Amino acid sequence: MKINIIGAGLAGSEAAYQLSKRGHEVNIYEVKRLKRNPVQVTNNFGELVCSNSLRSDDLLNAVGTLKEEMRMLDSLIIKAAEFARVPAGGSLAVDREIFSNYITKVLEENELINIFDQEIDEIEKDAITLIASGPLTTESLQNKINSLLGSDDFYFFDAVAPIIKKESINMEIAFRKNRYEKGETEDYINCPMNKEQYDLFYNELINAETSIAHLEDDQTLKYFEGCMPVEGMAKRGEKTLLFGPMKPQGLRNLDGTNNYAVVQLRQDDAIDSLYNIVGFQTNLKWPEQKRVFSLIPGLENAEFVRYGVMHKNNFINSPRVLNEFMQLEKNENIFFAGQITGVEGYVESTASGILAAINIDKKIKNKEMISPPPSTVLGSLIHYINNASATNFQPMKANWGIVSEISGIDKKNGKNAKKEAYSNRALEDMKKFITKL
């Protein structure tokens, strides 16, 4: 059966390579040589559009372990990164030109891979299609995906509040309570502020550095109107936040005293390890988010799993439409991979491309499709995009908070004992998964 891949970015290039390795002929369609998007600057495949880092290479870090899992799966993108590596402490950073030249050469020289410079806006009926067109999918394909899934299941913008680890919140300052004590369980964590603390926070917030919106087209602005960044709201007036996300009403301290302002945090994952700052979608630069949001009492030592972002980002409602094999529930010939599935980041996008290729191979060979267990980092990401809340689905990058829990490891076994256990188990379980390929 014919295999078409849309997009020769990170996920699409990886999937093409993985499929060719398994003996399949692949057509890969890429539009950038005809029409670049606003962040592309070269004609190469697997272009890194922003940072040149594939983040930490330390196994104690979930993304470091994910890269190790990908090495075990013979990832083309990781091989390219090793080839193009530049010194960056514990991170895997690359010379982006050498990196994407390597990927382009491997694809162009592969006899099983046919490359077409073409914009795709239709899905062939009698072929297997892998849609890996990324966060900036062209408009004509966006329309096609929209008609395929319905607009409720295809999002166009990311307006995300920062997500932090629960264990890093100082509960000697923060307290659990729902506004006006509604509900049976105390779901929210509240960070109280007095006037002095608010004034300091407010001044730092309105003067903090923002990132330039990646795509300031008309459509972007239209969507953003309904979803103001917290700093934008603050700039409307000194007290605006006190009537919005920092409203203190109904959130007295446990001793009954009033607060001047309260920041609320809401649970973000099923295992109750991650919390997002409610209403704090933001366009601040990442280091600025850390600096300014750490001024919130109780968040002095907050560990950010994901920073807030506001940019164009096409992604599908994976919890509702995709299965754990990266296949569309309602059309078994269509697979998705990359950032468009709601995994977030270069490494995560690439890794999802490996899994899509594995399952396209299985499908063509009439074998049972497979997915790694959530004890592996790749498996946890796939599990997350399949099982997160479909009503408020937001992209996720690799982190230990979404990997299935190991209980009974005490901090007294050493600061890194838990991470070490997670990493070791992930690699062991990936080894077992590979025997099923």
Ligand X SMILES: Cc1cc2nc3c(=O)[nH]c(=O)nc-3n(C[C@H](O)[C@H](O)[C@H](O)COP(=O)(O)OP(=O)(O)OC[C@H]3O[C@@H](n4cnc5c(N)ncnc54)[C@H](O)[C@@H]3O)c2cc1C
Residue ranges binding ligand X (CB under 6 A): 6-12, 29-32, 37, 39, 49-51, 119-120, 132-138, 141, 214, 311, 313, 338-340, 345-346, 349
Q: Which of residues 7 and 373 has its CB atom nearest to ligand X in the complex?
A: 7
Output the smallest distance, CB 47 to ligand X, in A: 7
Output the smallest distance, CB 88 to ligand X, in A: 13
Output the smallest distance, CB 144 to ligand X, in A: 8
Output the smallest distance, CB 38 to ligand X, in A: 8
Q: Which of residues 205 and 402 has its CB atom nearest to ligand X in the complex?
A: 402
Q: Which of residues 293 and 307 has its CB atom nearest to ligand X in the complex?
A: 307
Q: Which of residues 29 and 433 has its CB atom nearest to ligand X in the complex?
A: 29
Tell me which residue has its CB nearest to ligand X.
9
Output the smallest distance, CB 387 to ligand X, in A: 21
Q: Which of residues 108 and 167 has its CB atom nearest to ligand X in the complex?
A: 108
Provide the token pair at 271. 């295992």
Q: Which of residues 164 and 398 has its CB atom nearest to ligand X in the complex?
A: 398
Residues with Cβ within 8 Å of residue 1, at least 6 apart in sequence: 126, 127, 128, 364
Output the smallest distance, CB 423 to ligand X, in A: 20
The CA distance from 89 to 171, in Å, is: 34
Determine contact, residues 175/253, Cβ cutoff 8 Å. Answer: yes
The CA distance from 111 to 389, in Å, is: 42
Give the closest residue to 96 by CA, choosing from 86, 108, 106, 107: 86
Output the smallest distance, CB 162 to ligand X, in A: 16
Q: Which of residues 117 and 186 has its CB atom nearest to ligand X in the complex?
A: 117
Pairing mode, strands 26-30 and 113-117:
parallel
